[in-house]
């Protein structure tokens, strides 16, 4: 039986939701992001994209490209509500649905033809139902493997439907730019271009060992993808692999103590999310971005996995201190990864301390859930500039 994977990708999701909820915004350039010029765009409507506005772009740059763009702070709860509704629709057509993010998902639709017709008909059915029940448009890509399904969903955006059949893969890869393959970034493009590799199929001119010597373990994986091979299955329950929080400042910060206060805020946000998912992590990472957009990340692993804000914070501060004098900072963030369900106990005393921290964190979570997140604030944050 021929395998088919479908990738459903909502069109300019955040911006489209804002236009859906506010008819006055329809047909106008809209972007969702922070309200200060130093913030970053999360999503841009197609009207804004015509001017070059795109996600991950600083708001100040977006305003220069499109002075009339309407910048909105967004409504994450509303986005989650619609995302959940869309995922429920997808679950009606396949038991194997893998949410890839808040606005996209993979479906394994192998063997569904007797119920819903051929793949392209099912794609049209899903698009029509999403539009009917949410008022939003989605683009659908269908292919024998996951990475090609994702590429296909982007071919005719917005409101597109594309299918790559097994017999079309060789021809498709012969014309696919190498940078369209997931995992091929801007930094590696010079290497490929120096080898006259510009299309995906050009990779096959060199054997797998050649690519392994130059790219490590991902070399043979890239070779397989150039042949249209991708063994990645659709995973219905994807475990959280990391949790992070970051802030871009309206003005550069040079004071280390003020940066540490932001790390404390972020550590609490991350710790709360970890506890909500009942996971703990051993690796803490600090991210720093400078006014010229240079960026550094540093990580440190601890002996026992944690979901405690103060443990995350103290490790983050140690990482920040290890950087020395770093000057002006545009953005700082902290994250936790390397999750494990079981904790490594160093001693009886460490175990008791962890237990007390667990009880304290659960109590804080209950108070904040009942009375609001601002009900309890650490004393060290009282004078923090917003």
DSSP single-letter state for residue 272: H
Say if CB 42 and CB 14 are below 8 A apart. Answer: yes
C-alpha dihedral (237, 238, 242, 247), degrees to nearest 10 = -90
Q: Which residue has the tokens 């069109």?
A: 11
Residues in CB range of 221: below 8 A, 6 or more apart: 183
Q: Respond yes or no: is residue 104 known to be catalytic.
A: yes
The 3-state secondary structure of 198-210 reads: CEHHHHHHCCHHH
CA angle at 331 for the pair 245 and 280, rounded to the nearest 5° = 25
* Tokens 């808040």 belong to residue: 102
**Separation CA 386–CA 60 (nearest Å):** 19
Among 18, 47, 98, 104, which one carries the catalytic annotation?
104
Question: Which residue do the tokens 């955006």 mark?
Answer: 157
Q: Which residues are catalytic?
A: 104
């Amino acid at each position: 039986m021929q395998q088919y994977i479908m990738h459903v990708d909502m069109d300019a999701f955040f911006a489209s939701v804002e236009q859906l909820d506010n008819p006055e915004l329809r047909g106008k350039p809209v972007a969702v992001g922070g309200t200060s010029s130093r913030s970053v765009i999360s999503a841009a409507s197609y009207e804004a994209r015509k001017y070059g506005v795109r996600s991950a772009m600083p708001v100040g740059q977006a305003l220069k490209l499109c002075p009339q763009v309407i910048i909105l702070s967004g409504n994450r709860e509303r986005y989650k509500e619609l995302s959940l509704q869309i995922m429920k629709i997808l679950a009606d057509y396949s038991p194997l649905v893998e949410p890839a993010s808040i606005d996209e998902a993979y479906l394994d639709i192998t063997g569904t033809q007797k119920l819903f017709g051929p793949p392209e008909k099912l794609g049209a059915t899903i698009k029509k139902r999403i539009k009917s029940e949410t008022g939003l448009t989605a683009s659908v890509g269908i292919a024998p493997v996951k990475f090609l399904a994702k590429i296909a969903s982007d071919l005719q955006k917005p409101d597109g439907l594309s299918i790559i059949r097994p017999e079309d893969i060789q021809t498709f890869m012969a014309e696919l730019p190498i940078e369209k393959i997931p995992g091929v970034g801007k930094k590696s493009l010079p290497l490929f271009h120096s080898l006259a590799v510009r299309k995906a199929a050009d990779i096959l001119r060199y054997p797998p060992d050649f690519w392994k010597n130059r790219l490590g373990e991902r070399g043979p994986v890239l070779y397989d993808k150039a042949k249209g091979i991708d063994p990645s299955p659709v995973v219905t329950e994807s475990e959280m692999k990391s949790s992070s929080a970051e802030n871009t400042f309206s003005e550069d910060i040079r004071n280390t103590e003020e940066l540490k206060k932001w790390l404390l805020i972020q550590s609490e946000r991350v710790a709360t999310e970890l506890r909500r998912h009942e996971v703990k992590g051993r690796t803490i990472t600090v991210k720093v971005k400078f006014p010229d957009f240079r960026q550094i990340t540093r990580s440190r692993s601890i002996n026992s996995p944690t979901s405690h804000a103060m443990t995350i914070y103290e490790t983050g501060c140690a990482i920040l201190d290890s950087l020395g004098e770093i000057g002006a900072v545009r953005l700082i963030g902290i994250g936790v990864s390397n999750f494990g369900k079981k904790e490594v106990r160093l001693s009886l005393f460490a175990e008791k301390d962890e237990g007390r921290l667990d009880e304290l964190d659960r109590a804080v979570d209950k108070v904040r859930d009942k009375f609001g997140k601002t009900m309890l604030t650490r004393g060290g944050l009282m004078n923090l500039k917003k």
